[in-house]
Amino acid sequence: MMLQAGRERFTFALIVLAFVGLLFGAWKVMVVQSDFLQTEGDKRQIRHISLPAARGAILDRRGNVLAMSTPMLSVAVDAKFLSDKPDYQTSLASALKLPIEVVNEKIRANAEKHFIYLKRGLSPEEAKLVERLLLDGVHLVPEFKRYYPSGEIMAHLVGFTNIDDQGIEGIELSYNDWLKGIPGVRKVIRDNLGRVIETVDEIRPAHEGRSLRLSIDRDLQFFAYRALKKAMIEHQAKAAELVLLDVHTGEVLAMVSQPGFNPNDRSLVTANQTRNRVVTDVFEPGSTIKPIVMAGALELGKIKPDEVIDTGKGKYLSNDKVVRDHHGYGQLDLAGILRKSSNIGMVKIVETMSKEEVWRFLHFTGLGQETGIVFPGELTGRLRDPFEWYPVNKTTAAYGYGYNLSLLQLARAYAVLANDGKVVPMSLMALDAPPKSASVFKPEVSRLLLRMMEEVTSTAGTGRKAAIPGYRVAGKTGTTRKANKGYDSDKYRALFVGIAPATAPRFVMAVTVEEPTRGQYYGGDVAAPIFREVMEQTLRLMAVPPDDVSQ
């Protein structure tokens, strides 16, 4: 009996000790190790997920949307979980319209990862199919995708973003920090398959990026795009560019390059197509620079407004360079030199100037300098310092060879003449007030040049196809050979730069067509008609009253 009682006491003691051990263990877990275990549990269940933020909208000067962010869904998977589930992979491939081999390979290559994107930017139908599958380890992730309502019309200017919504071309790139949003952060609890089962806290809400209002007018951009597209087909050209400026503010109202591309579908787009040639390509301006050089000579008093120059029979030797005109024009006044585009007349004018003086006015009107816009890939061109010039460089400078510029720089140089001789920085942003200006020419010199340039668009001038009924137009044509280890004998660039209305200038437009191969290739035949079509629409849309009702 005593033995029996001893065994019972011993058993009871063991039970008590076990219970005490359990209590101690519970106390240790709940008190001593509580923080550690909580942290370890959180590591396995609580996650901080990023909340996508939309980029700011890009607007034209009137508030029309040029770029916007639209919500979309992407599909992400737990590759480690799905690596040994071929039936899951087959179902996903079918829903996403992907080859099963592509899905297999992507999951196999990332078999140790718990999160990979399988496909970005799903269509609504694809998203519904994936959602209906109810597969563990498969998640629909909210994101934003950039959409460009104007498509090809604004493509070179606005640019585009990559799959991660970061700007990589155009305005999207140069103003990426301004446009991009600030992602939010949310604390959630996930199960062992990575599914969100509860939101714990929203640590930081997502903030949309800031909007940007450009100086561009969507309607004017469309007119320019349509005219260039038509000219490309008509002349079977390699490329074409156009830029339209507000004379007084320096705002860019339209900027178009061809060939174009669709920023909403870049599957077949090449890097060459995305180049905004208005600012990234440079060329020798040829005869279009003659008004600037002539204005410089007038500003210095090297020639008089009523000067008459003997251009002879069409051939002239200057600094060992034979200079030619298309015909022997004989005696020409200054307006006649521009109207006939006489190289000899311009060379004789430049002979009255030093090379430093010629360089000064090219430089002060913007050649070799930044234009003031902020745009990726912009080139400033090349205008060598005058101490590097040989005597022949001064000769060729008279008619636009030996240095190069962009089409935007050429337009800005003409804007100086149109703005009473004052230069202003160019802007791609809509401005509330005109920027500060600096004087290059006296107002009377600029106005004299405008009157002479009107003769270029008269019936006797090389730019007569730029004339607009009811308006007085000042401008200059140019036809240059393209340089390629020398000058190609059969590759030309047709140019026209014009100002309207000439009596009270509002707009400057520069147009170039590269390598036209069908029909004519002269600036007056190829580029001038484009100017007329677009400027006529511009004057009408902007409600600019006619300044010469007699036409």
Sign of the torsion angle spanned by Cα atoms 332, 400, 385, 441? positive
Cβ neighbours of residue 124 closer than 8 Å, sequence gap 6 or more: none
The length of the chain, given as a count of residues: 551
- What is d(CA 288, CA 56) in angstroms, rounded to the nearest whole number? 40
Per the rule left: phi > 0, alpha: psi between -120 and 50, beta: everything else, 494 is beta
- What is d(CA 222, CA 66) in angstroms, rounded to the nearest whole number? 12
Cβ neighbours of residue 69 closer than 8 Å, sequence gap 6 or more: 54, 55, 57, 144, 145, 146, 147, 165, 208
- What is d(CA 247, CA 253) in angstroms, rounded to the nearest whole number? 10
DSSP letter for 428, please.
Answer: S
- What is d(CA 135, CA 75) in angstroms, rounded to the nearest whole number? 12
Decide if 287 is catalytic: yes
C-beta separation of 338 from 294 below 8 A = yes
Return the axis-axis angle of helices 443-454 and 290-300, rounded to nearest 10°.
Answer: 140
C-beta separation of 477 from 467 below 8 A = no
CA-CA-CA-CA dihedral for 192, 198, 201, 202, to nearest 10 = 90
Q: Would you state the structure tokens that stand for residue 502, as one six-digit string? A: 């000439």
**Going along 205-324, which residue ranges are E strands?**
212-213, 239-246, 252-258, 308-310, 315-318, 321-324
Helix-strand-coil percent breakdown of the chain, rounded to 5? 40, 25, 35
259 prior amide bond cis, ω within 30: yes
- What is d(CA 504, CA 144) in angstroms, rounded to the nearest whole number? 47
Task: Say which of 150, 215, 257, 287 is annotated catalytic.
Answer: 287
- What is d(CA 472, CA 530) in angstroms, rounded to the nearest whole number? 17
Give the gyration radius of the chain's Cα atoms.
35
> Given the structure tokens 């002879």, which residue do they identify?
312
**For residue 119, what are the CA distances in angstroms to 55, 76, 93, 419?**
21, 7, 10, 54
C-beta separation of 511 from 373 below 8 A = no
Active site residues: 287
